[in-house]
């Protein structure tokens, strides 16, 4: 594995376009490879396996960053994607959604807020709440269904 580090770093640099991020990615890929060494098939080239681990980890990080836009990157008030013109209808809808979320049972609202608002993955939310990941998924589904039905019932009538 040590002999592959320069190649892995070059590969990571092409993915991340940053030396610091590439170093972090190489470190994470190596840690994952060592932790999961039993999964490596010796008939498979080690470099391909390491590169796949690095690529998958990087794409996973990109997905997380999309969910957590602005966290640690730029101040939220400077993020143009967060600046939208608001209308009275938007405020009313936001108030309806907040009211519906507050009306949810605590077990549903806490999971929904952790995943949908705070950007935690299902796995992270499960660990945080010390419940199985399947329970997180079913609670998210139930909460979204309740919100959808509640908002559909209260949709304003077009005039």
Over residues 104-118, the mean pLDDT reads 81
pTM of the entire structure? 0.42
Full DSSP string of the chain = -GGGHHHHHHHHHHHHSSHHHHHHHHHHHHHHHHHTGGG--TTS-HHHHHHHHHHHHHHHHHHHHHHTTTTTTS-GGG-GGG-----HHHHHHHHHHHHHHHHS-HHHHHHHIIIIIS---HHHHHHHHTS-HHHHHHHHHHHHHHHHHHHHHTPPPP-
**pLDDT at 141 exceeding the cut of 90:** yes
pLDDT tier at 82 (50, 70, 90 boundaries)?
very low
pLDDT tier at 130 (50, 70, 90 boundaries)?
confident
């Amino acid at each position: 594995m040590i002999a592959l580090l320069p190649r892995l770093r070059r590969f990571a640099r092409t993915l991340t376009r940053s030396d610091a991020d590439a170093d972090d990615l190489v470190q994470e890929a190596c840690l994952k490879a060592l932790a999961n060494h039993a999964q490596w098939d010796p008939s498979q080239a080690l470099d391909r396996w390491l590169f796949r681990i690095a690529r998958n980890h990087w794409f996973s990080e990109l997905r997380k960053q999309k969910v957590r836009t602005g966290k640690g990157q730029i101040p939220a008030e400077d993020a143009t994607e967060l600046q939208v013109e608001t209308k009275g209808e938007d405020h009313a809808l936001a108030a309806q959604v907040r009211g519906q979320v507050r009306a949810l049972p605590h077990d549903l609202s806490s999971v929904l807020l952790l995943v949908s608002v705070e950007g935690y993955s299902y796995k992270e939310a499960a660990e945080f709440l010390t419940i199985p990941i399947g329970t997180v998924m079913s609670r998210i589904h139930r909460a979204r269904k309740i919100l959808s039905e509640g908002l559909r019932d209260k949709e304003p009538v077009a005039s």
